[in-house]
Amino acid sequence: MTYLNHYNEEDKVLVAVDCIIFGFDEEGLKILFVKRGFEPEKGKWSLMGGFLKREENLAEAATRVLFSLTGLQDIYMEQLYSYSEIDRDPVTRTISVSYFALINKNKYDLKLNIKNEAQWFKFSEAPLPIFDHQQMIEKALIRLRRKALSTPLGFELLPEKFTMRQLKRLYESILNQKLDKRNFINKFNSLDILVKLEEKDKTSSKKGAFLYKFDEKKYQLKKEEGFNFKL
């Protein structure tokens, strides 16, 4: 073969995918880990990861890996970044491509398969995962923060009906800072993507708090347009 110098068998490496799954509930931002089922680092907390197979592309691999480890299906994941430090996996050279998704915990928790010991962790209290997974998570968090400040966010993470308090908590836990209530409500209202419902949530006070939902059309439009949300 004339191109032997270029296509070199010895340069071949394994390619893996690792999935960063964010969720949200009353405790704040959550991240999904799984107990690694094989050596090295067996039994340690890890992102949902696995190797790319011959018959699939990276997105298909990410979907298969997530399903096989957690039972979660129909999750749209976004490719984030490829990691390639020479010794990032001690067994053999492995390039890993990270994928991330925001999922609605309320909707998917019932489907979460616990046989592989998948577990949600409060983001601020999550254990240190294996290899360079912490680095992957940090990059995903930067992306998530940029999204929160430049496109509406919440549709994928909140229950269908939610209070302003929940929405504010979501932003606070993503941005990791306290937000001024009135300022937040004003800014968010100015986006004109919320629908105030007649209904109230009375679980946290007798008076109750009005419930809201997103106007899906306006939400999607705003998502395409983008904005620069200074909170």
Q: How far apart are CA 35 and CA 77, in angstroms?
A: 21
Should residue 227 be labelled a site residue for a copy of itself when binding is judged by CB under 8 A? yes
Cα separations in angstroms, 116 against 14, 69, 92, 112, 169: 23, 6, 24, 10, 30
For the beta carbon of residue 74, count every other beta carbon within 10 angstroms: 8
Instruction: Pick the stretch among 69-77, 85-93, 104-112, 195-203 that binds a copy of itself (CB under 8 A).
Output: 85-93
Should residue 224 be labelled a site residue for a copy of itself when binding is judged by CB under 8 A? no
Given the complex with a copy of itself, which of 92 and 203 has the nearer CB atom?
92
Residue type, 78: E
Should residue 3 be labelled a site residue for a copy of itself when binding is judged by CB under 8 A? yes
Give catalytic status of residue 117 as yes or no: yes
Query: Of these, 97, 140, 141, 211, which contacts a copy of itself (CB under 8 A)?
Result: 97
Should residue 91 be labelled a site residue for a copy of itself when binding is judged by CB under 8 A? yes
Q: Which of 41, 117, 156, 172 is catalytic?
A: 117
Rg of the chain over Cα atoms, rounded to whole angstroms, equals: 20
Q: Where are the beta strands (DSSP E) in 44-193?
A: 45-46, 48-51, 78-83, 94-102, 119-122, 162-163
Query: Of these, 26, 55, 74, 198, which contacts a copy of itself (CB under 8 A)?
Result: 55
Given the complex with a copy of itself, which of 58 and 209 has the nearer CB atom?
58
Q: How far apart are CA 85 and CA 132, in angstroms?
A: 9
Give contact residues for a copy of itself (rule: CB under 8 A): 2-3, 5-8, 10-15, 38-40, 50-59, 79, 81-82, 84-86, 91-93, 95, 97, 149-150, 226-228
